[in-house]
Structure 1
Amino acid sequence: MARLFDAYIIVDWSAAEAKKTGEQSVWIGVAKRDARFRPAFESYNPATRAEGEALIRKLVSEAMRRGERTLIGFDFALGYPVGTAARLKLDGSPWSAMWRFIGSEVKDKADNTNNRFAVANKMNRLMTDGPRPFWGAPAKQVQTWLSATKPDGVYDGTAEFRATEEAAAKGKQRPKSVWQMHGAGVVGGQTLLGIALLSRLVADWGSAVAVWPFGTGWQALTPEGVEPLSVVVAEVWPSLLPQKPEPGEVKDETQVRTLAQHLLRLDEKGELGALFAPPAKASAKLKSQVEGEEGWILGV
């Protein structure tokens, strides 16, 4: 049975403002087969996003040299609710226009200091000329168009959640909205910083990479479809799976290990490709929305 990938990398990104390891920092988990074709796993905990980016580049570069294919799952949103690009008056395919815009606006320094709150502030100004739809900032980061707390009417015609987050909410929990920038478990900041990272990686990897579902279509992956590629990038949410920490593991490490090993096992059984397909009752409108702007969480 042909496997789709040789390695499965799960990245738990972080919006930390300073060098940090342990909980609430960058974790990168890699599941693959060893020299004897036995499943193996390694985790990495770089202290900064710059170190994390360098490690991802190294892992992928080494895999490319060996002629191996890699699936990389990132634990942040790869798209924004439908209509966001239009409200920003961006030209081109909505998802790629958002990536170009965010990639050009976000400044993320080697010591982890970054301008994510300023970018959210600017996007609010361009979209609504008010403190919406992004909200939430520590006191020192409150700005003209970005408030500390959730204002009334904050979404003002913009959807709070993407379709994939609404679908995920039918389970035990739902991911936070990409619009929330500050607070426990938020994803707004790491989504801005993460998309900026991916805009660089995808530009550099060129035709060797496809981003699911934007560049692959929202459909099951086959060995024939993956064969020309070196890398497939997908959005993941490790909380979809039950977590059982091993001795000494922090939550983030458990999450990247659990999901990386799960994807490897699915691929061994020939069941991974189907995970990239839409739900059976997905409408043509939803398919267009997901493929063109919002993206989807793998496994939802």
Structure 2
Amino acid sequence: MRPERLAILDWSAANRPRQGKDSIWLGLSDGTASNPRTRALAFEALATLVEETLTRGETLLIGADFPFGYPAGFARALTGRDGALAVWGWLAAQLTDGPDNRSNRIELAARINGMLPGFGPFWFNPTRQGFAALPHKGSQRAGHGFPEHRLADATAKGAQSPWKLGGAGAVGSQALTGIAMLERLRRAFPGRVAVWPFEPLTAPVILAEVFPSILAPEVNARLGPGVVKDQVQVTLLARALHALPSLGPLLETPPDPRIADEGWILGLGHEMALRAGL
């Protein structure tokens, strides 16, 4: 399996329009990249990319740099159903994200905490608004009953817990806003978009979780004055994936039932193969 087009999305949950460092970057396998100022503009860019792909009768893989699922058991606790896509639908219905980049992600995380046992699992409040159900520190959490990391997070060096909403390296806010956005993209093209590893890959467009830091040494070697690391990460990973003769080996996941809830990172365990194409 080798898609004709490949794009890598580096996401941001910033609460205002932003470009440059720590913002949204969309890199293509031809080496080009765009830097949408808002999540709304990023959605438009992705929708255009999908529409162009379908019009051409081609195939496309979009890799997104945020968790596609949460530690096992969360989906059933939140929605009453197993499987990560149940959480996708729930978040798409509950998360608001305006054209000015303002979202209710922190309020929503606090609301989810309030629906679950104990104190947590989400934590960190970067706003000035207090939420009784949202701990400021991870060490304050207790009794929520969920693992801190997914299987993939524990395997990928440097990956952080999806429960952490802010601070250095945090991915929790990116997951909340990013999952809701990708679910909207799925619904905009019914039957034409499949989510790996949760669905059969029979659609022309595939969404997959990626971790650009998987190529950290190669990325760092290309940095210099005026070079944005995020831009290098997305274009380099897109190029590395597109250079492979087949993505088949990368699409195989460990035989672990937790993956239906948690997802997996494309390319994890195949770093040498990715580096060979650079």
- Pairwise CA distance, 1:245: 2.6
Determine whether 1:50 maps to 2:40: yes
Q: Percent identity?
A: 38
Determine whether 1:117 maps to 2:106: yes
> Quick check: 53-62 or 142-151, which moved more?
142-151
Q: Is the 8 A contact 2:76 2:82 kept in 1?
A: no
> Quick check: 238-247 or 9-18, which moved more?
238-247
Q: Name the CA distance, whole Å, in 1 between partners of 2:119 and 2:125.
A: 11
Q: Any idea what SS the aligned residue of 1:207 has?
A: coil
Inter-CA distance 92–253: structure 2 relative to 1 (3 Å threshold): same
Q: Is the 8 A contact 2:66 2:178 kept in 1?
A: yes
Q: Name the CA distance, whole Å, in 1 between partners of 2:17 and 2:127.
A: 21
In the alignment, what sits opposite 2:250? 275
In the alignment, what sits opposite 1:289? 258
- Pairwise CA distance, 1:127: 1.1
Structure 1 residues 196-207: aligned runs within 5 Å: 196-207=180-191
Q: Is the 8 A contact 1:142 1:148 kept in 2?
A: no
Residue from 236, 243, 259 that aligns with 2:237:
259
Residue from 203, 206, 211 that aligns with 1:232:
206
Q: What letter matches 1:289 in structure 2?
A: R
Determine whether 1:141 maps to 2:129: yes
Post-superposition Cα deviations, 1:239-276, rounded to whole Å, max 9, x if no partner, equal: 0013133664201001001100001111xxx2422111
Q: Any idea what SS the aligned residue of 2:238 has?
A: helix
Residue from 14, 22, 39 that aligns with 1:24:
22
Q: What letter matches 1:299 in structure 2?
A: G
Q: Name the CA distance, whole Å, in 1 between partners of 2:163 and 2:243.
A: 34
Q: TM-score, normalised by structure 1?
A: 0.84
Q: Any idea what SS the aligned residue of 2:140 has?
A: coil
Q: Is the 8 A contact 2:223 2:229 kept in 1?
A: no
Q: Name the CA distance, whole Å, in 1 between partners of 2:168 and 2:16.
A: 17
Q: Name the CA distance, whole Å, in 2 between partners of 1:192 and 1:146.
A: 15
Q: Name the CA distance, whole Å, in 2 between partners of 1:189 and 1:265.
A: 31
Residue from 153, 157, 163 that aligns with 1:179:
163
Q: Is the 8 A contact 2:75 2:81 kept in 1?
A: no
Q: Any idea what SS the aligned residue of 2:88 has?
A: helix
In the alignment, what sits opposite 2:83? 94
Inter-CA distance 7–155: structure 2 relative to 1 (3 Å threshold): farther
Q: Is the 8 A contact 1:164 1:296 kept in 2?
A: yes
- Pairwise CA distance, 1:294: 0.6
Unpaired segments ≥5 residues, structure 2:
269-278
Q: Name the CA distance, whole Å, in 2 between partners of 1:80 and 1:127.
A: 14
Q: Name the CA distance, whole Å, in 1 between partners of 2:130 and 2:178.
A: 22
In the alignment, what sits opposite 1:37? none
> Quick check: 116-125 or 196-205, which moved more?
196-205
In the alignment, what sits opposite 2:5? 7
- Pairwise CA distance, 1:150: 2.1
Q: TM-score, normalised by structure 2?
A: 0.90
Q: Is the 8 A contact 2:135 2:141 kept in 1?
A: no
Inter-CA distance 18–192: structure 2 relative to 1 (3 Å threshold): same
Q: What letter matches 2:227 in structure 1?
A: E
Q: Is the 8 A contact 1:10 1:29 kept in 2?
A: yes
Q: Is the 8 A contact 1:107 1:114 kept in 2?
A: yes
What number of residue pairs does the alignment pair up?
A: 264
CA RMSD, aligned part only? 1.6
Q: Is the 8 A contact 1:6 1:70 kept in 2?
A: yes
